[in-house]
Structure 1
């Protein structure tokens, strides 16, 4: 693990651990895989996710056969436990992830107390920095296994639609003759795909469980509703590289988690909007295998010359034969990127305001968190490795600057009221031009002030139906009913 909040998805330090005790390094280098379209290997194995366009892999046919053998070894129990409605074998994913985090220690009473007190303190300080009230979420201390077990339901929601559409798209790209020849084997191919996806998901979740600091890292609401979770052992690990008091690091991490929980609790549309964006992305998945067909067109297996076949296969190993995956729903991806940036940017500003005068190391902690985002520990990496969506780096700094300027212009209450409806949030374009967003809020504020004045006038008129205008000597103006508007 790198210094500070640095993540690795994956890094060289993990390679040795991956191969100790059990062979969990399944299919890392399968981008050069002519069988990827049938669920063996593929771009997800190269760390790019279900729906990514894979790069050059590190392995070859041996890796593919190794994967196939391992899938067969666990096929019986995994297929029996698989939910037929799922496109991913989540039972296999959970078992593989637990293997990767084997040996984690239980959370101690002292760690539990530290988390609870840190969250409680953070909530008190956040009250002065945001108009959103405390979430009343229960503070919990998790270890890696707790994180895996508690977040799996939401990962299922995020991963399953992508995997289902990926499998469907793979079958659709096959020539009609091939689909007819497969016939009853199509079900077996789907099962193999679900196992392959399960293996890759378990690999990614096992890594992330050892690196996650909270239940909602980077604006991803994967923890159960009503839970503010912090992983004290993982926090202690990253504290070693910061040369700052561990208690200050814990409070900072707890404050970020508590701030996100306020958003997820009091902005009820937010979580569903994130999930629906993933589903929209999945619905538009497209797979292009034309380059694979072109590469294998010259492969002559009928000649029977082993030397020629071996040479041809070696040539294929130098080609990127992973399916090229894209989505027609670019708007869904852009919405995800912007939402994540706005969430984390808002958290940056609120936590900085709440802790800035109380914890001297707040600027250093904020910068360490920003480095963590920039060096691999980020929402886009988690989505790529686990969900399979290739996001651009969320523009959190731009979003934070927008929220900072908004606070200065219209105040905390008006700033936080923006979260009341998705249509009120800043657009992607307004991240580049905060002034245009602030102008809309100022216009709304002016209109609201005028409306308030008219409302007050109408109320006075209702309460005083016989308003009179007096003349200089204190008498009525002579009108018969004595009223004047």
Structure 2
């Protein structure tokens, strides 16, 4: 297994597309069963998994089909995804995972506690009181699956509906009682894709809420020590410093998720809103087919037309009528991670000299594959633009300089107070709104000064009250 630079996700050989390209370059046949989690080459000529030959592979394939049957029976009828199949395929992709050692558990827990102590100096949001835990890849899979279900299920459900809507009415009527079987097959297809993606991500995740995604159970701050150790190998830095930096990011996110009660639900509802508007566009396919002119009868013309199709993208285009939800999701993730960048840098900057290098390594990881948009694309099925985390961090930094830490963190008090995507382009405009809302301290000081003068000089108060109107009674103060 080779690793990318810095915090990059490992470029492991489990990636089907990369395997296929590499095999073809070497003249080896690509593995058509790779999508089902089977590694190695078909003939069993290379790789440990292929040593048993074709018979072993067919035996595994038969076991997989048998498992699929049980998965279909076990599937929850209310789910658009076969999560039982997804979990089994993910575990197969993860393989054997050693239990977390006592030493790793102690290192993760101590790092999280130390990070919480230091974060107190960088933010007014209190500690989350989350339970510190150390996970391996299999524990990450099991404990984050409930939230992945919440995120994936609505997308898959509305995708199925959108597919049905694109079918001609006659085809829908012909399906009849077969609709249930088709739904089960779709659920299995979603399950296999989800299992593949989660299996890969489990081996790459560093915490329970990487990249601002609150997939860990509420009230838990989790770190994956073995995965942290793997990425530490590419850095010329002490492993303990890397662990504390990763723990600080997790602890900072947990403060947001705990003390900003609307935040997690806003992230989830943005996914649900996007899913509700899913639609499939096949107009470009119909246009290409109309341009083939297959009725001409000229074999050469037909052959040329078919060759021209090789460069065409004939996959249906998936979009959403609620595309604004993706923009809000991108901005919200950017604001979460940008805020974490700032408070972690402030908390650790003077205590861990390597903090700038660690922050830059994390940014590279985010830019070269380890990102929220990649997770949403491969697991949830939503194509996000890259969250503008650097811009968001700069905005939070300038807010803190302008109005202080307390006012900066108070921006999280209500979703309407948050900066928008436009404010990432124009931080000064957002800062101006905070300055306009700030109390006029100069005027307050003048009032306080006048009040103190009146208290110290009772004669001033009497003189102001001695003036009499024509209609006032003698000796009576208004």
The corresponding residue for 1:470 is: 459
2:190 is the counterpart of 1:197 = yes
**Residues 467 and 483 in structure 1, CA contact (< 8 A), matched pair in contact too:** no
The corresponding residue for 2:42 is: none
2:35 is the counterpart of 1:26 = yes
CA 1:453–1:80 in structure 2 vs 1: closer, same or farther (change >3 Å)?
farther
Distance between the aligned counterparts of 1:294 and 1:134, measured in 2?
58
CA 1:327–1:451 in structure 2 vs 1: closer, same or farther (change >3 Å)?
farther
Displacement, 1:290? Answer: 2.8
Where in structure 1 are there 5+ consecutive unaligned residues?
29-67, 304-308
1:268 is paired with a residue whose SS is coil
CA 1:313–1:109 in structure 2 vs 1: closer, same or farther (change >3 Å)?
farther
CA deviations on 1:117-147 (whole Å, 9 max, x unpaired) are 0000000000000000000000000000000
1:103 is paired with a residue whose SS is coil
Displacement, 1:453? Answer: 8.5
The corresponding residue for 2:45 is: none
2:362 is the counterpart of 1:369 = yes
Query: Given the alignment, which residue of 1, 5, 8 partners 2:7?
Result: 5
Distance between the aligned counterparts of 2:117 and 2:84, measured in 1?
41
Q: Which moved more, 1:473-482 or 1:341-350?
A: 473-482
Distance between the aligned counterparts of 1:387 and 1:137, measured in 2?
26
The corresponding residue for 2:379 is: 386
CA 1:319–1:16 in structure 2 vs 1: closer, same or farther (change >3 Å)?
closer
1:225 is paired with a residue whose SS is coil
The corresponding residue for 1:47 is: none
The corresponding residue for 2:93 is: 100
Distance between the aligned counterparts of 1:245 and 1:432, measured in 2?
37
1:416 is paired with a residue whose SS is helix
Give the TM-score of the pair, scaled to structure 2: 0.82
The corresponding residue for 1:44 is: none
The corresponding residue for 1:249 is: 242
Distance between the aligned counterparts of 2:62 and 2:441, measured in 1?
68
The corresponding residue for 1:398 is: 391
CA deviations on 1:165-222 (whole Å, 9 max, x unpaired) are 0000001100111111111111111111000000000000000000000000000000
Counting only pairs closer than 5 Å after superposition, residues 46-125 of structure 1 correspond to structure 2 as 73-125=66-118
**Residues 68 and 85 in structure 2, CA contact (< 8 A), matched pair in contact too:** no
CA 1:349–1:310 in structure 2 vs 1: closer, same or farther (change >3 Å)?
same
CA deviations on 1:390-412 (whole Å, 9 max, x unpaired) are 11100000000000010000000
Distance between the aligned counterparts of 1:195 and 1:474, measured in 2?
89
The corresponding residue for 2:313 is: 320
Matched residues, number: 434
Query: Given the alignment, which residue of 121, 127, 135 partners 1:134?
Result: 127
Distance between the aligned counterparts of 1:355 and 1:389, measured in 2?
34
Query: Given the alignment, which residue of 163, 174, 182 partners 2:167?
Result: 174
Distance between the aligned counterparts of 1:150 and 1:473, measured in 2?
74
Query: Given the alignment, which residue of 200, 215, 218 partners 1:225?
Result: 218
The corresponding residue for 1:358 is: 351
CA 1:141–1:453 in structure 2 vs 1: closer, same or farther (change >3 Å)?
farther
Distance between the aligned counterparts of 1:457 and 1:78, measured in 2?
77
1 or 2 for the larger relative contact order (CA 8 Å, sep ≥6)? 1
Distance between the aligned counterparts of 2:405 and 2:376, measured in 1?
31
Displacement, 1:3? Answer: 2.3
Where in structure 2 are there 5+ consecutive unaligned residues?
21-30, 38-60, 469-473
Distance between the aligned counterparts of 1:413 and 1:340, measured in 2?
21
Counting only pairs closer than 5 Å after superposition, residues 262-411 of structure 1 correspond to structure 2 as 262-293=255-286, 319-411=312-404
Displacement, 1:75? Answer: 3.3
The corresponding residue for 2:52 is: none
The corresponding residue for 1:208 is: 201
RMSD: 3.7
**Residues 469 and 476 in structure 1, CA contact (< 8 A), matched pair in contact too:** no
CA 1:249–1:310 in structure 2 vs 1: closer, same or farther (change >3 Å)?
same
1:178 is paired with a residue whose SS is helix
Give the TM-score of the pair, scaled to structure 1: 0.81
Displacement, 1:323? Answer: 1.3
Displacement, 1:269? Answer: 0.2
Displacement, 1:102? Answer: 1.2
**Residues 130 and 350 in structure 1, CA contact (< 8 A), matched pair in contact too:** yes
Displacement, 1:446? Answer: 2.9
